[in-house]
Amino acid sequence: MNDAAGKTVIIADDHPMFLSGIRMELEKDDTLNIIAEAGDGKTALELIKKYNPDVAVLDFEMPELTGLEIAKELQKSGSPVKIILLTMHNEKKIFLKALEIGIKGYVLKNDAVIDIVNAVNCVIGGGEFISPKLIGLLLEKGNDLQTEDKMPGQIANLTQTEKNILKLIAELDSNEEIAEKLYVSKRTVENQRVIISQKLDLEGARDLLKFAVKHKDYL
């Protein structure tokens, strides 16, 4: 984590008025410290590498480098910085690609004023944030998703604790939030997620999240 006080954030968008609006919303939370901002992708990447913030809020489409390209570059370098994408797109392919490369937050620009503070805090806390209007994309049928053929009957193989954790995952709670609600350690939650994935024959956080959201009513 950066040495600066609070939870450190870098924001980047090539529209000055929108960037200003995002900054104003984030500044309403005095635990968040905006340490830098940029108007293009190249500058954003340089600032992220320089300051190593807790989270970077990036516009999907920017000059020089897109938010997705920045995320790919950071993933290759093993950077721990968590990424939230701001986008006008609610297209399934883009959304799933973002999840596949480890982006922790996906916020529609139309909802950014409402969602951005919650998104940043959620992601910093170890969770994933997806704008509510995008949840439906997790449930759409498609051959590219590994969990479409999973049946609710598999849930019967889970213990009650595992079901409780799966339900909280569906609510997009972070590992820390789940641990607090269930009165267990964060490590226990992390281990349980692995066990649940194995029991359900799922691979990766994306598939586990999708399964949890799709079968929430059975939990």
Q: Which domains does the chain have, with CATH numbers?
A: 7-139 (3.40.50.2300), 152-218 (1.10.10.10)
Phi, psi of 56 (to 5 degrees): -120, 125
78 pLDDT higher than 90: no
End-to-end CA gap in the chain: 36
Token pair, residue 215, equals: 């079968």
Quick: pLDDT tens for 52-72: 999 999 988 888 888 888 988
Q: What is the pLDDT of residues 130-186, one digit of tens each?
A: 887 776 666 554 444 444 444 456 787 788 888 889 988 888 888 888 988 888 888
The C-alpha torsion from 166 through 158 and 145 to 109, rounded to 10°, is: 0
Q: Are the C-beta atoms of residues 103 and 74 closer than 8 Å to each other? A: no
Helices (H), 133-201: 135-139, 160-170, 175-182, 186-199
DSSP state of 110: G
**What are the phi and psi torsion angles at 140 (to 5°)?**
-65, 145
The sign of the torsion formed by the CA atoms of 41, 12, 103, 51 equals: positive
**Given strand 129-130, what is the order of strands in its sheet?**
32-38, 7-12, 55-59, 82-87, 105-108, 129-130
- Position with higher pLDDT, 144 vs 10: 10
Residues whose CB is less than 8 angstroms from the CB of residue 165 and which lie 6 or more positions away in sequence, other chains included:
178, 182, 189, 192, 193, 196
CB 81 within 8 A of CB 105: no
Name residues whose C-beta falls within 8 Å of residue 160's C-beta, 6 or more positions apart in sequence. none
**Within 13 Å, how many C-alpha atoms sit on residue 126's CB side?**
13
Q: What is the pLDDT of residue 30?
A: 87
Interval 84-113: pLDDT, tens: 988 876 666 667 677 777 788 888 888 788
Residue 105 φ then ψ, to 5°: -140, 140
